Amino acid sequence: MEEQDYGTFKTRKQGNSVTVTLPKNSGIPAGVEVTASGFNESSVTYKVVKPRLKKNRFKNFDRSRYDFEQDIKELNYNPDDIIPVGRERLD
């Protein structure tokens, strides 16, 4: 992507923060997280922080290949045979 100049902007104080407002036509949507680095008298660099995706380890879990019988052997009981004592099962 080619670097584009959007003009000159002045920082302003907003509460306990200093902000720079970007024009709407910059193409940067609201809510984008950025990091600022390299601040000196002549420049500052902003980079977009890539969001960390939370992986759902159960989303693509192949239940057909999982050995539930082995779990029962390791536990020495079948969890399905246990009678609930409190409100463990609400179904």
Count of structural domains, the chain: 1
pLDDT 10s digits, 36-90: 888 888 888 888 888 777 777 777 778 788 888 898 899 898 888 887 777 776 6
Q: Which pTM was predicted?
A: 0.43
Report if residue 59 sits inside a domain: no
Report if residue 74 sits inside a domain: no
Report if residue 90 sits inside a domain: no
Give the domain extent around 39: 12-48
Whole-angstrom distance, CA of residue 44 vs CA of residue 12: 16
**In Å, how far are 4, 32, 46, 64 from 25, measured between CA atoms?**
11, 15, 17, 51
Report if residue 89 sits inside a domain: no
Report if residue 20 sits inside a domain: yes
Report if residue 57 sits inside a domain: no
